Chain A
Amino acid sequence: MSTVESRAPVGLDREETSRRNFLKTAAWTGAALSAMGIGGFGVAVRRAEAQGEYKSYWGLGDAAILQFAYQLELLEGTFYDEGVNAGLFKDAFLAQIAAIRDHEMAHADAIAKTLGQLGTEVPATPQFTFPNGSFGDAATFLKLAATFEPVGIGAYQGAAPALESKDILAAAISIHNAECQHRCAINILNLVNPPNDLAFEEALPLQKVQAAVKPFGITG
């Protein structure tokens, strides 16, 4: 295993980040609506049934969920930043990898800002570790990228129904969508054709997400 000096988000599109304040990503936010459930919708069916994963995030609280999400974003952002710096890509490939790097760092910045608004500590940047050779060639890098994205997707999708703040939910579901778009873009770079190969995105329970990211240095 090689240890990579993790970077604070640098050289990113700060303007983009500040322009889009985290909480402003929600067009329909505002006061949390009174949760008036419809009788019968508690019955989970089909895909929803497979998505009781959110129960594993229940009770964590918004701040803890965001702290975890912040570290996930830093992990992804650092990974893509290393990929850009390794000089493995050019043209459309480079443009996409750099864009994903910028997105992940923008997500991390936005989450940090929200944690600040909540008066909650922003976690220290973990010392990330990647398998040897991760940045040695494009194919190895892209294969690893294809394993990262579903973890981010699964984490946000699993956590979303456990979020108490509707503002934070609106932002989280937007970030979730960006992660899904990344998954499809990485498919394109991996020459998966057609790249839109899923009818439903998969949620992951907290424990699976924790197990997936632990080898990379996230122990929270």
Chain B
Amino acid sequence: MENHTINVPGAEEFARPRTRRDFFKILAVAGAGATAASMLVSGKASAQTNDVDIANFALSLEYLEADFYARALDAGVLSGDALGVVKNLADHESQHVSAITDLLNSAGATPVSKPTFIYPADAFSNQASILNLAATFEPVGVGAYLGAAPLISSPDILAAAGSIAGVEGEHVVAVNWLLGVVPYAGEAFPEAMTLDEVSAAVAPFLGGKMLSTGGPKLSQAEAYRLGHV
């Protein structure tokens, strides 16, 4: 895990997670994450991971990001460079939602509906709180796509996932820039995340519940490989 130098001139000091691992620790303290993670890998371990599950899981994540940035714009507390960046973030995530929905529809699968999201009380109270939350969301998006990519069967879905994953990576850089993190692009090998890591990361925004898809389901072989059994 790489540590970045954080320098946010003039911004109020936040207890900002310095690394993704710290972020998960904080969430674990909150309690919701661990429950979600254990729910994901218990039970129906015999069901097969497939592209529809993965696409629906990605759709839920994109819904979360799109919803977050739309609310951030509505809050009216952004200005200058941050406003321009967040406008694009909102637009991109919304386009990702549409693209994945189209993919699912064209496959004859049912896209999940948009979940109801819950945010910390002060999430949209000022620019710094929005950017700090964005800085925790974006690496989760990257990690989810990088982790899911090798599980995707269809080359077309994989091509689309790669295209979106790269954009999420760009979002990490743009948010780093706004937060004064140097270098803006600091990772030679952005890291994949496991399914349960991603689920744990987003569970607090779902009130501790699982995503409505239940997330991609693990086969016994995959669960073994990922160290869950």
Enumerate chain B interface residues (CB-CB to A < 8 A): 48-52, 81, 84-85, 87-89, 91-92, 95-96, 98-99, 102-103, 106-109, 142, 145-151, 153-160, 162-174, 177, 182-194, 221-222, 225-226
Contact = CB atoms under 8 A, between A and B. Distances in A.
Task: Classify chain A's interface size.
Answer: 35 or more
Contact of A54 (B95, B145, B159): B159
Contact of B173 (A31, A40, A41, A184): A184
Contacts of A7: none
A166 B225 CA distance: 13
A38 B154 contact: yes
Nearest to A17: B188
Given A28-B226, A48-B99, A170-B192, 18 more contacts: A28-B192, A38-B52, A43-B106, A45-B99, A45-B102, A45-B106, A46-B99, A46-B103, A51-B159, A51-B160, A103-B187, A162-B155, A176-B165, A177-B146, A178-B190, A199-B95, A200-B164, A201-B166
Contacts of A40: 106-109
Given A41-B154, A41-B156, A51 B163 contact: yes
B169 A36 contact: no
Contact of B87 (A42, A181, A194): A194
Interface stretch (A19-27, A60-68, A113-121): A19-27
Nearest to A158: B159
- Chain A CB count within 10 A is highest, among B109, B148, B166, for B166
30 contacts: A20-B188, A26-B150, A27-B146, A28-B150, A28-B151, A28-B226, A30-B225, A36-B50, A39-B108, A41-B106, A46-B99, A47-B160, A51-B160, A52-B156, A95-B182, A95-B183, A96-B183, A96-B184, A99-B185, A157-B159, A161-B155, A174-B192, A177-B142, A184-B169, A185-B183, A193-B84, A195-B177, A198-B170, A199-B96, A200-B99
